[in-house]
Chain A
Amino acid sequence: MKTENQKAWLFVLPVLALVAFNALVPIMTVVNYSVQETFGNNVFFWQGLDWFEQILRSDRFQAALGRQFLFTFLILIIEVPLGIIIALSMPRKGMWVPVCLVLMALPMLIPWNVVGAMWNIFTLPKIGLVGYFLNDVLGIAYDMTQNPFAAWVTIIVMDVWHWTSLVVLLSYAGLVSIPDAYYQAAKIDGASPWKVFRYIQLPKMKTVLTIAILLRFMDSFNIYTEPFVLTGGGPGNSTTLLSIDLVKIALGQFDLGPAAAMSLIYFAITLLVSWLFYTLMTKDDAQ
């Protein structure tokens, strides 16, 4: 007879406690706030799902959500193809490999708020290198502190600079794992470079690309620090992304109820899109 042994729980327990304290408890606090109203003094009034309804109906939320989706869409549509192209053009062997890898990894090593501050100084219209060059040398009117379009271009370029490397490195890892025989076979089969990409490189990169897109989606959808430091959400509200708006409501206005409801909606959207994407991408493999 096999004896039941419950000792394994002892090994899981520390992790369980850790997850409880750093995830479950804080999230439940948020859930708690999201259904109540408080006027301070630790007095709470039951509110039901009112906050959720109010948030979902509010123009402010919808606008921020729209900006958030636009931002993430632009990031993915630029960084993923660009990352693949850079990975494809990187050398596969030789002395330049480590040089390229280090250069690629550098932007990712810089702390997020430093990136924001760097780009802020870099692009200020009068004193920044780019700002000065565009305005006074090329004569292109550029002011990311005044012009919403310029502000958008700046945060997009900053994110591309900061995070395209992630797509590059992951794609590159997929590419170097392809044995030479595949390329040789394709040559012998008379495949064009496009077909080599379509039928050999892309399928071999699929797994890592799925992860890269997923990470880029989650990070760009939840982005806060860099645009906050760079534009502070302005000019006006033009670069107020969802996370910036959320912090304004929670810590600026101290509206804990609506902020909690908004957090949960935000979280649910991130989770849902990630799940949908992952399920769709891995559907073929499961069959």
Chain B
Amino acid sequence: MAKITLSNLRHSYMPNPSGPGDYALKEINLDWRDGGAYALLGPSGCGKSTLLNIISGLLVPSEGRILFDDKDVTDLPPNQRNIAQVFQFPVIYDTMTVRDNLAFPLRNRGVDEARIAARVSEIARMLEVENMLDIKASHLSPDNKQKISMGRGLVRDDVNVVMFDEPLTVIDPHLKWKLRSKLKELHQRVKATMIYVTHDQTEALTFADQVVVMQDGEVVQIGTPVELFERPQHTFVGHFIGSPGMNVLPVQERAGGAMFQGEQIVLEGETIGEGGLTQVGIRPEFVSLAETGLPARVQKVSDVGRHAVVEAMVGDTAVKAIVEGAVPEQGAAVHLAFRPDQTRLYRDGWISTEARA
């Protein structure tokens, strides 16, 4: 178990990067607490796997340092970093039994057999694979194979960090949920620092205490799932997290307020800075149909079960609202109300209103 510090980390896959566009990772500074459960969340190609490979040592960063418990490990190869990694596709040693698979990382490190046997049976109990120990690993189903690859990561009790690189990609949907809760449970039991990489917000939000949202090689926001949902620091976070994502509406800034399609919008607090591209962000959850407010015309209504998503046109801009109970007809004229304490101004994508005290 270890605290992980990333300091001024940058990485480019090109030998001589000239501009910021050449970097797959742009300037990352992070501190990860010992024993925490973290998720790296972002769309494909945002640099999360690059970051993961740098932490595991499969990739050496172009610039910056990585510290485990304040010890510099930047130049150490993976096997000397004491880390474990679970990959997107289950990696198992086909010709070995499940037991030998679990014992493999320990045998390679010369641990004595009695200790290996104890650790293997402990991990097998945790993963609930005790009845498969003597089966050849190639005969397992994909979800059990993935369990075994997790087990190989957890079997060493001295690992600094266990990393998961989209580990549920090949798992059937109904088993995903099971494995995900198993992982959460394992984290609470083994208390290892865990980093979980995914592009699936549900996986990230259910697994992690802290989610790191990345876009284009940059960390956009770090926060608890609640923070990410309630106060996105960037329109990308607002849009990426949530279903449907946050409404991002183009506005003109006017004397401390915002004008949207000719109507005044009340913001959560004072605005900061000036100029730039201004947008208002509000989650569909906080938009409601009202007697008065922004006049709009209903464009589309989708019933998603628990509630309905109403898409209404205000002028030429679509605004989504989550409505419970009775929904208006398509084409109906309605009025939309924004909850002021959840309405924020974004300047060039970044939040620029002060939170109400």
CA distance in complex: A179, B92 (Å): 12
A188 touching B78 in the complex, CB below 8 Å, given contacts A181-B87, A181-B88, A181-B89: yes
Interface of A, helix, strand, loop or mixed by DSSP: helix
CA distance in complex: A225, B85 (Å): 54
Q: Does A188 lie within 8 Å of B84, measured CB to CB?
A: yes
Stretch at the interface among A37-45, A83-91, A139-147, A191-199: A191-199
Cβ of B102 to closest chain A Cβ, rounded Å:
11
Shortest Cβ distance from B94 into A: residue: A203
CA distance in complex: A187, B80 (Å): 10
Q: Which residues of B contact A181 (CB under 8 A)?
A: 87-89, 91
Shortest Cβ distance from B85 into A: residue: A188
Q: Does A188 lie within 8 Å of B56, measured CB to CB?
A: yes
Cβ of A275 to closest chain B Cβ, rounded Å:
24
Q: Does A185 lie within 8 Å of B108, measured CB to CB?
A: no
CA distance in complex: A129, B41 (Å): 66
Q: Does A187 lie within 8 Å of B77, measured CB to CB?
A: yes
Interface residues of A in 145-189 (CB under 8 A from B): 179, 181-182, 184-185, 187-189
A190 within 8 A of B: yes
Shortest Cβ distance from B109 into A: residue: A190
Q: Which residues of A contact B79 (CB under 8 A)?
A: 187-190
Cβ of A197 to closest chain B Cβ, rounded Å:
12
Q: Does A189 lie within 8 Å of B77, measured CB to CB?
A: no
Q: Does B91 lie within 8 Å of A191, measured CB to CB?
A: no
Cβ of B123 to closest chain A Cβ, rounded Å:
14
CA distance in complex: A185, B87 (Å): 8
Q: Does A203 lie within 8 Å of B95, measured CB to CB?
A: yes
Q: Does B91 lie within 8 Å of A185, measured CB to CB?
A: yes
Q: Does A188 lie within 8 Å of B109, measured CB to CB?
A: no
| B96, B105, B152 interface centre (most CB from chain A within 10 Å) | B105
| A184, A190, A203 interface centre (most CB from chain B within 10 Å) | A190
Cβ of A242 to closest chain B Cβ, rounded Å:
36
Q: Does B93 lie within 8 Å of A200, measured CB to CB?
A: yes
Q: Does A195 lie within 8 Å of B91, measured CB to CB?
A: no
CA distance in complex: A185, B94 (Å): 13
Shortest Cβ distance from B90 into A: residue: A181
CA distance in complex: A184, B85 (Å): 9
Cβ of A205 to closest chain B Cβ, rounded Å:
12
Q: Which residues of B contact A179 (CB under 8 A)?
A: 89, 91
Contact string against B for A residues 16-28, beta-carbon threshold 8 Å, 1 for contact and 0 otherwise: 0000000000000
B32 within 8 A of A: no
Q: Which residues of A contact B87 (CB under 8 A)?
A: 181, 184-185
Cβ of A94 to closest chain B Cβ, rounded Å:
15
Q: How large is the interface on B (under 10, 10 to 19, 20 to 34, 35 or more residues)?
A: 20 to 34
CA distance in complex: A195, B88 (Å): 22
A195 touching B56 in the complex, CB below 8 Å, given contacts A187-B78, A200-B93: no
CA distance in complex: A203, B96 (Å): 10
Q: Which residues of A contact B104 (CB under 8 A)?
A: 189, 191, 199
B201 within 8 A of A: no
Q: Does B149 lie within 8 Å of A185, measured CB to CB?
A: yes
Q: Does B108 lie within 8 Å of A189, measured CB to CB?
A: yes
Cβ of B155 to closest chain A Cβ, rounded Å:
10
B117 within 8 A of A: no
B58 within 8 A of A: yes
CA distance in complex: A182, B94 (Å): 11
B83 within 8 A of A: yes
| B84, B88, B89, B94 interface centre (most CB from chain A within 10 Å) | B94
Q: Which residues of B contact A187 (CB under 8 A)?
A: 58, 77-79
Cβ of A183 to closest chain B Cβ, rounded Å:
9
Q: Which residues of A contact B77 (CB under 8 A)?
A: 187
A184 touching B58 in the complex, CB below 8 Å, given contacts A191-B104, A191-B108, A192-B108: yes
Residues of A within 8 A of B (CB): 179, 181-182, 184-185, 187-192, 195, 199-200, 203-204
Q: Kindly list the 4 A-B residue pairs having the minimum CB-CB distance in the complex, ordered from nearest.
A: A190-B108, A185-B91, A181-B87, A189-B105
Residues of B within 8 A of A (CB): 56, 58, 77-79, 83-85, 87-89, 91, 93-96, 104-105, 108-109, 149, 152
List 20 A-B residue pairs with CB atoms under 8 Å apart, sorted by A's residue number. Answer: A179-B91, A181-B88, A181-B89, A181-B91, A184-B78, A187-B77, A187-B79, A188-B56, A188-B83, A188-B105, A189-B79, A189-B105, A189-B152, A190-B105, A190-B108, A190-B109, A191-B104, A191-B108, A199-B96, A203-B95
Known contacts A195-B108, A199-B96; 20 further A-B pairs (Cβ under 8 A):
A179-B91, A181-B88, A182-B91, A184-B78, A184-B85, A184-B87, A185-B87, A187-B78, A188-B56, A188-B78, A188-B79, A188-B83, A188-B84, A188-B85, A188-B105, A189-B152, A190-B79, A190-B109, A199-B104, A203-B93
